[in-house]
């Protein structure tokens, strides 16, 4: 096994699944940067916390391979593995976990669905879906005095937008969301054996459904959209892409392409609603403010906390020797709050200089293909919600949180009618990370 750091201090206190960390990871991330590369026995990973080191991990693909990006964090039980096998589940190297010669071609295929032109064309749909959700939220407020913006504004629109962008019809969005959340917990959570089995049923059912869709498309190869593109794709050696590989592309894309955007919208709404003066500025339509808020949320509250790599050869980061085959956990959120990156990193400051230097969407050959779409959808959600509900207040300071190794976000965003006048800042000096 890898040896501890030269100082002999493996990370014993870092617990990414603890309630304290999930509620507010920044104190722990501040401590991690004091020992920026250190071995964590519980996850078997070398934790990398400083911006410059995380950047190196993401951009040096020759040394830090993505092979372990989709491995289950918590070892799967035999019953869970048996369930997955019964469903024919497999995730061969395709996108996020692919360091082979097949990756560039598959990435270009998928990227063609996320061009800036296609994002602009889909923007009216995204806005109309958010407005429809806000009509339901307004009805909730009239009936009960409260509503959950996570359910009304953030849940369905990103999934419906993604499916439209990819040309996928006749998809049960609620079922897709259920499959997606189960898959995230199975592979990035810390579920016990009994829960693993139930999650494996959901993940396996999703994989089986995708296999049926891809196989059906293969029988009609002239179909438009992502599925048609995949069955027509040829690998570098001229062979057609197999069904298993096509399903692997779709599996992670249909999860990450919408679930993380829902999480980003939740994080943005929760963060900005906690600043009533800033919310009023948004409601007033201040140009560019929504985009500035989204960028600060990505830096300080990114829903994608970490990403994993494995070393292909011995290497050195911040003076620490890593052996070949070492699992590396890159702290994307920790990189965004690094004092070497920005001044006063704990302050939520929309419009700060060099706002996009964070690594919330990764970097290098595996940078998120949907970054532009996610930004637009989060901006729309902020703009439309503030315009439609300018006087609502956040009624839950610490909501229940999704708390996985690589994903964190509020699970709900409850708002209601205001009571007595409340104080709040507009992004100026505040408590740290608040």
Task: Write out pLDDT tens, residues 215-258.
Answer: 999 877 788 899 999 999 999 999 999 999 999 999 999 999 99
Give the list of residues 6+ apart from residue 329 with CB closer than 8 angstroms, or none. Answer: 40, 43, 45, 46, 47, 48, 306, 307, 308, 405
Query: Which residues are within 8 A (CB) of 92 and not within 5 positions of it... i.e. 6 or more apart?
Result: 244, 245, 248
In sequence order, which ranges of 302-413 are alpha helices (DSSP H)? 332-336, 371-388
Helix (H, G, I), strand (E, B) or coil at 317: strand
Measured CA to CA, the distance from residue 132 to residue 137 in angstroms comes to: 9
Q: How far apart are CA 107 and CA 136, in angstroms?
A: 38
pLDDT at 249: 97
What residue ranges define each of the domains in the chain, with the CATH number in brackets? 19-416 (1.10.630.10)
pLDDT at 6: 42
Six token digits for residue 211: 């296999």
Q: How far apart are CA 323 and CA 395, in angstroms?
A: 49
Q: Is the dihedral of CA 385, 267, 23, 186 positive or negative?
A: positive
**Sites in the chain below the pLDDT cut of 70:** 1-9, 419-434
Q: Which residues contact 339 (CB under 8 A, 6 or more apart)?
A: 345
Q: Mean pLDDT score of the chain, rounded to an integer? A: 93
Give CA–CA dist 131/384, Å, rounded.
7
Distance CA 92, CA 111 (A): 19
Residue at token pair 């992670």? 252
The pLDDT of residue 318: 95
Could you tell me if 384 and 127 are in contact, meaning their C-beta atoms sit under 8 angstroms apart? yes
User: What is the distance of C-alpha 117 from the center of its chain?
Assistant: 23
Q: What are the C-alpha distances in Å from 4 to residues 38, 53, 326, 328, 399?
A: 7, 18, 12, 13, 36
Give Cβ neighbours of residue 388 (< 8 Å, ≥ 6 apart): 131, 134, 137, 138
Q: Which 8-state DSSP code applies to residue 152?
A: I
User: What CA–CA distance (Å, rounded) separates 225 from 267?
Assistant: 31
Q: Give kind and range of the element (H or E) at residue 280.
A: helix 276-283
- pLDDT score recorded for residue 90: 94
Taking the C-alpha atoms of residue 34 and residue 112, their distance in angstroms, rounded to an integer, is 41
Alpha carbons 29 and 38: distance in angstroms, whole number? 13
Asked whether the CA dihedral 234, 239, 242, 245 is positive or negative, the reply is negative
Alpha-carbon separation of residue 424 from 186, 273, 335, 394 (angstroms): 39, 10, 27, 12
Task: Tell me what pLDDT residue 354 has.
Answer: 86
Close Cβ partners of 248 (under 8 Å, ≥ 6 residues apart): 90, 91, 92, 93, 94, 95
Q: Report how far residue 344's alpha carbon sits from residue 356's, in angstroms, rounded to the nearest whole number.
A: 16
H helix intervals, 112-192: 116-144, 149, 156-166, 173-188
- How many other C-beta atoms lie within 10 A of the C-beta of residue 425? 16
Task: Give the DSSP per-residue string, 382-422.
Answer: HHHHHHH-TT-EE--SS--EEE-SSBEEES--EEE---S--
Q: How many alpha carbons fall within 13 Å on the CB side of residue 125? A: 16
How many Å separate Cα 55 from the centre of its chain? 18
């Amino acid at each position: 096994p890898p040896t501890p750091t030269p100082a002999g201090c493996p990370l014993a206190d870092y617990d990414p699944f603890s309630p304290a960390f999930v509620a507010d990871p920044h104190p722990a991330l501040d401590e991690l940067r004091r020992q920026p590369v250190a071995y964590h026995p519980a996850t078997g990973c070398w934790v990398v916390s400083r911006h410059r080191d995380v950047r190196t991990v993401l951009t040096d693909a020759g040394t830090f391979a993505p092979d372990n990006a989709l491995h289950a964090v918590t070892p799967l039980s035999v019953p869970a593995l048996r369930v997955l096998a019964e469903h024919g589940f497999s995730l061969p190297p395709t996108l996020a976990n692919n360091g082979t010669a097949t990756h560039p071609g598959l990435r270009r295929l998928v990227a063609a669905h996320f061009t800036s032109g296609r994002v602009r064309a889909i923007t009216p749909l995204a806005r109309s879906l958010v407005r429809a959700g806000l009509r339901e939220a307004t009805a909730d407020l009239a009936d009960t005095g409260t509503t959950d913006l996570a359910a009304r504004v953030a849940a369905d629109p990103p999934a419906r937008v993604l499916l439209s962008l990819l040309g996928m019809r006749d998809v049960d969005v609620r079922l897709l969301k259920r499959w997606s959340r189960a898959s995230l917990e199975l592979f990035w959570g810390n579920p016990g054996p009994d829960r693993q089995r139930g999650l494996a049923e959901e993940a396996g059912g999703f994989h089986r459904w995708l296999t049926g869709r891809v196989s059906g498309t293969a029988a009609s190869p002239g179909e438009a959209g992502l599925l048609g593109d995949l069955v027509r794709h040829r690998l570098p050696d001229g062979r057609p892409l197999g069904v298993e590989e096509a399903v692997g592309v779709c599996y992670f894309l249909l999860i990450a392409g919408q679930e993380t955007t829902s999480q980003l919208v939740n994080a943005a709404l929760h963060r900005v609603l906690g600043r009533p003066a800033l919310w009023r500025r948004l409601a007033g339509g201040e140009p560019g403010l929504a985009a500035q808020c989204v960028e600060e949320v990505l830096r300080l509250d990114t829903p994608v906390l970490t990403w994993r790599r494995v070393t292909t050869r011995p290497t050195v980061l911040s003076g620490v020797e890593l052996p070949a085959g070492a699992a590396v956990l890159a702290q994307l959120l920790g990189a965004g709050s690094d004092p070497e990156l920005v001044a006063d990193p704990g302050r939520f400051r929309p419009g700060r200089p060099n706002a996009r230097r964070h690594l919330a969407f990764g970097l290098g050959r595996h940078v998120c293909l949907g970054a532009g779409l996610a930004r637009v959808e989060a901006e729309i959600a902020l703009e439309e919600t503030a315009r439609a509900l300018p006087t609502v207040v956040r009624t839950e300071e610490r909501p229940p949180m999704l708390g996985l190794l690589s994903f964190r976000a509020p699970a709900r965003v409850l708002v209601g009618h205001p009571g007595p006048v409340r104080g709040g800042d507009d992004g100026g000096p505040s408590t740290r990370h608040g």
